[in-house]
């Protein structure tokens, strides 16, 4: 008989099993007045695993999850993994047609959902006779708590290879239909450990799940605390004052935010923030979109003495870089160095590495990379090199000290009169204007120049659109060809669940 060497495979369940044994009475999850200890989390995950197995699901089958941030999210993820199944997170903002596409493309075999969201998947469930476990109701399937109560709390221990997927995360579909990103147990386990090391999410620490857990980063930073022995407290829906309430009530120490959340906090006013007891909060880390320098300065001034980080990554590549607190002021606009266990290349169109100061396409290689796109080898090959580096299409530049700055998305590049224009540079300048909350710069077709630069701006209350003043502000810091030629005021920029601006949805007012 062959001897198996190399030890146990990495699994997103292992941390919960370990701390259920080591600290069973410790609080794992907080959701308002509801809490779960590690023992309860582990047992409920086992009951769910057995309930899913009883539905006839076999190893490797897919389970769609349609939930917002709530107490049950960690146990659902752990239960799916304990049963040897694969989670398919669904965004509660999807239309019925969008959800059906993902359910069908992923060959989903069952759904776990919130009754309040049932209309999103009703059509798909009925069309394919999918069994469902439903929280807070049962119009579409079995009631969740009843299904768990009917099962033993015995862990099924269905082992899964660490390179096998624990999750299929669907992209936002910026270029056609969404693609299913295969994310392995190994990828996420190492992300959890490194996140605990970097941002203080582990044993004895309280972290907040603020970003939606159905999104890649939201899940990573919402689940990492319980995987590493800490406590996660759920913010069900983003609300700036509600976030401050959460920090005060549960003594939150670490929180992951996206830039729009920082904007929301700033809109409360400095006095409203100063009136709160936020002494427990010591770490803030940001991702999803560029954190403009002017906004970053506000964060550091408003939360003095806290560790402020800015990281960069993607669904396909995981976390790629991190700018640590020691470098925040010295390297404005940078996203830092390569993160733990990560190699980075910045290359020209021929694949040759570019020298410092020269923009190029960023590729990375790390244990966090996806396994590829589900049933789409062509798309996988388009973004992957022969030696295993992956790109998400971003243009970056590295300075003489090795600090990386993201210039822009490759597909967002504007070519006007044969000259490359990077929208992010213009958006950073506009962020410094007193009347601008945020902006998105895009190219519009132009008969003379090919494309012309236009800006969609969200204005502060009391400010009207003044193209002449905005142009003057830009000309003081930008070359003339970069200054937007058209200006549009908009109440808000369209965003996906991860907080990234959907520039494809921006159009001139009609």
2-31 confidence digits (pLDDT tens): 676 778 899 999 999 999 999 999 999 999
Domain with CATH 3.40.50.12780 in the chain: 198-405
Q: Which two tokens stand for residue 188?
A: 């996420």
HEC sequence for 407-438? EEEHHHCEEECCEEECHHHHHHHHHCCCCEEE
Decide if domain 413-505 falls under CATH 3.40.50.720: no
User: Which string of b and e fits 262-290 if b means at least 16 CB within 10 Å?
Assistant: bbbbbeeeeeebeeeebeebbbbbbbbbb
Query: Mapped to the 3 state alphabet, what secondary structure does 297-321 carry?
Result: HHHHHHCCCCEEEEEEEECCCEEEE
Residue whose pair of structure tokens reads 């829906």 in the numeric block: 237
Mention every residue, 6+ apart, whose C-beta is less than 8 A from residue 476: none
> How many residues are given for the chain?
510
- Exposure string for 399-418, b = 16+ CB within 10 A, e = fewer: eeeebbbbbbbeebbbebee
pLDDT in tens, 170-199: 986 544 678 999 999 999 999 999 999 999
Per-residue pLDDT, 67: 98
Q: Concatenate the DSSP letters of all residues of 336-392 into one string.
A: BEE-TT-EEEEE-TTSPBPPTT--EEEEEESTT---EETT-HHHHHHHB-TTS-EEE
Under 8 Å CB-to-CB from 359, ≥6 apart: which residues? Answer: 346, 395, 396, 397, 407, 420, 422
Q: Does CATH place domain 14-23+30-183 in 3.40.50.980?
A: yes
**Where, residue-wise, is CATH 3.30.300.30 in the chain?**
413-505
Strand blocks (E) in 196-252: 206-209, 231-234
Q: Does residue 198 contact residue 117 with C-beta atoms inside 8 Å?
A: no
393 vs 274: CA distance, rounded Å: 40
Residues 6+ away with beta carbon under 8 Å from 457:
430, 436, 437, 438, 439, 465, 470, 487, 488, 489, 490
Rounded Cα distance, 161 and 173, in Å:
29
Kindly give the parts of the chain with pLDDT less than 50: 174-175
Phi first, then psi, for residue 171 (nearest 5°) are -70, 170
pTM for the whole structure: 0.86
Distance CA 283, CA 325 (A): 10
DSSP strand pairing (307-314 vs 486-489): unpaired
Q: Report pLDDT for 392.
A: 86
Nearest to 169 by CA among 157, 183, 152: 183
Q: Would you state the pLDDT for residue 174?
A: 45
The overall longest dimension of the chain from CA atoms, in Å, is 80
Long-range Cβ pairs for the range 352-358 (8 Å, 24+): 356/397, 356/398, 356/399, 356/400, 357/397, 357/398, 357/399, 357/400, 358/397
CATH class of 198-405: alpha beta
- Does residue 39 sit in helix, strand or coil? helix
Bridge partner list, 442: 454
| CA gap 290, 288 in Å, rounded | 7
pLDDT score at 418: 62
Q: Which secondary structure element, helix H or strand E, spans residue 455, and what is its range?
A: strand 450-459
Tell me what pLDDT residue 70 has: 98
DSSP, residue by residue, 134-203: EET--SSSEEHHHHHHTS----------TTSEEEEEEP--TTSS--EEEEEHHHHHHHHHHHHHHH--ST
Predicted pLDDT of residue 509: 78
How far is Cα 230 from Cα 223, in angstroms, rounded to an integer?
Answer: 10
């Amino acid at each position: 008989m062959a001897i198996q060497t190399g030890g146990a495979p990495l699994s997103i369940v292992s941390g919960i099993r370990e701390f259920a044994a080591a600290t069973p009475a410790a609080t794992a999850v907080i959701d308002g007045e509801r809490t779960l200890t590690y023992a309860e989390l582990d047992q409920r995950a086992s009951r769910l695993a057995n309930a899913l197995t009883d539905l006839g699901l076999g190893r490797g089958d897919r389970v769609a999850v349609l939930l917002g941030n709530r107490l049950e999210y960690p146990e659902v993820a752990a239960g799916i993994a304990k049963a040897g199944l694969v989670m398919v997170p669904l965004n509660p903002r999807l239309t019925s047609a969008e959800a059906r596409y993902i359910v069908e493309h992923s060959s989903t075999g069952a759904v776990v959902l919130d009754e309040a969201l049932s209309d999103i998947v009703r059509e798909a469930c009925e069309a394919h006779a999918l069994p469902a476990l439903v929280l807070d109701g049962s119009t579409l399937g079995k009631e969740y708590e009843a299904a768990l109560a009917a099962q033993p709390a015995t862990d099924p221990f269905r082992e899964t290879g660490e390179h096998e997927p624990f999750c299929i995360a669907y992209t936002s579909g910026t270029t056609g239909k969404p693609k299913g990103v295969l994310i392995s147990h190994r990828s996420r386990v190492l992300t959890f450990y490194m996140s605990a090391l970097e941002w203080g999410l582990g044993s004895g620490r309280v972290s907040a799940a603020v970003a939606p857990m159905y999104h890649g980063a939201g899940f990573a930073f919402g689940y990492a605390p319980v995987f590493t022995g800490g406590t996660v407290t759920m913010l069900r829906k983003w609300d700036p004052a509600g976030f401050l309430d959460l920090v005060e009530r549960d003594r939150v120490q670490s929180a992951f935010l996206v830039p729009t959340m920082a904007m929301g906090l700033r809109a409360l006013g400095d006095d409203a923030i100063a009136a709160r007891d936020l002494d427990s909060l010591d770490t803030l880390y940001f991702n999803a979109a560029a954190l403009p320098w002017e906004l970053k300065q506000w964060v550091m001034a408003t939360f003095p003495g806290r560790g402020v980080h800015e990281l960069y990554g993607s669904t396909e590549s995981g976390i790629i870089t991190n700018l640590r607190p020691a470098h925040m002021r010295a390297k404005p606009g940078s996203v830092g160095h390569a993160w733990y266990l990560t190699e980075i290349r910045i290359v020209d169109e021929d694949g040759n590495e570019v020298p410092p100061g020269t923009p190029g396409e960023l590729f990375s290689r790390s244990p966090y990379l996806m396994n590829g796109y589900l049933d789409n080898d062509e798309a996988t090959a388009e973004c992957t090199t022969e030696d295993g580096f992956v790109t998400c299409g971003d243009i970056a530049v590295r300075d003489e000290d090795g600090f990386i700055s993201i210039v822009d998305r490759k597909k967002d590049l504007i070519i006007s009169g044969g000259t490359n224009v990077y929208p992010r540079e213009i958006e950073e300048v506009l962020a410094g204007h007193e009347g601008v909350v945020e902006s998105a710069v895009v190219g519009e077709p132009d008969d003379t120049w090919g494309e012309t630069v236009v800006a969609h701006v969200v204005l502060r209350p009391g400010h009207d659109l003044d193209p002449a003043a905005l142009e003057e502000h830009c000309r003081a810091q930008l070359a003339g060809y970069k200054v937007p030629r058209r200006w549009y005021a908009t109440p808000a920029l369209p965003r996906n669940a991860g907080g990234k601006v959907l520039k494809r949805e921006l159009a001139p007012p009609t």
